[in-house]
Homo-oligomer: A and B are copies of this chain.
Amino acid sequence: MNKVEMTEAIVVAKAAKGVQWQEIAAVIGRSDVWTTSACLGQNTMSAEEAQQVCDFLGLGPEVVTALQVFPTKGFGPTIPTDPLLYRFFEICFVYGPTIKEIINEKVGDGIMSAIDFTMDIDKVEDPKGDRVKIVMNGKFLGYKKW
């Protein structure tokens, strides 16, 4: 069972059971973002986590195994047209050089890691219209000299 089939099996089981990602996340004590990313085939669960998720959703050993496989990550270098996805690329295009200036100035020559990295996504209620708040937190890695 590959990662695509695994994701389909999980999404169907999740819909059948009528649960949300954060309920699945609670089963293994992880955040909803990380748990979703692993179920979508972008991160790797431990054997115990995989078993707990599959027990909760009523899925078999093939899914347990597939959740532990190291994935090939990312959906290819094409910029997507889905408006929700595209807005994040737009933020990169419009604010990318600003982010670089600010990180360089505040921390130095290096990068924010996308591996030693966490992300949280929340709804912020607002009488003028609800908002979405995303917090990214990555380790700063300075360029090594040798």
Contact = CB atoms under 8 A, between A and B. Distances in A.
Interface string A38-69: 00101110000000000000000000000000
B144 A109 contact: no
Given A113-B141, A145-B34, A85 B76 contact: no
Contacts of A142: 115-116
Number of copies: 10
Interface string A59-89: 0000000000010111111111111111111
Nearest to A102: B121
A83 B74 contact: yes
A114 interface: yes
Interface residues of A, number: 84
Contacts of A88: 91-92, 96, 99, 114
Nearest to A74: B81
Contacts of A117: 91, 144
22 contacts: A21-B101, A33-B95, A34-B146, A37-B95, A70-B104, A74-B82, A74-B94, A75-B93, A83-B90, A84-B104, A87-B113, A91-B117, A91-B136, A112-B132, A115-B143, A116-B141, A118-B144, A129-B139, A132-B136, A132-B139, A134-B135, A136-B136
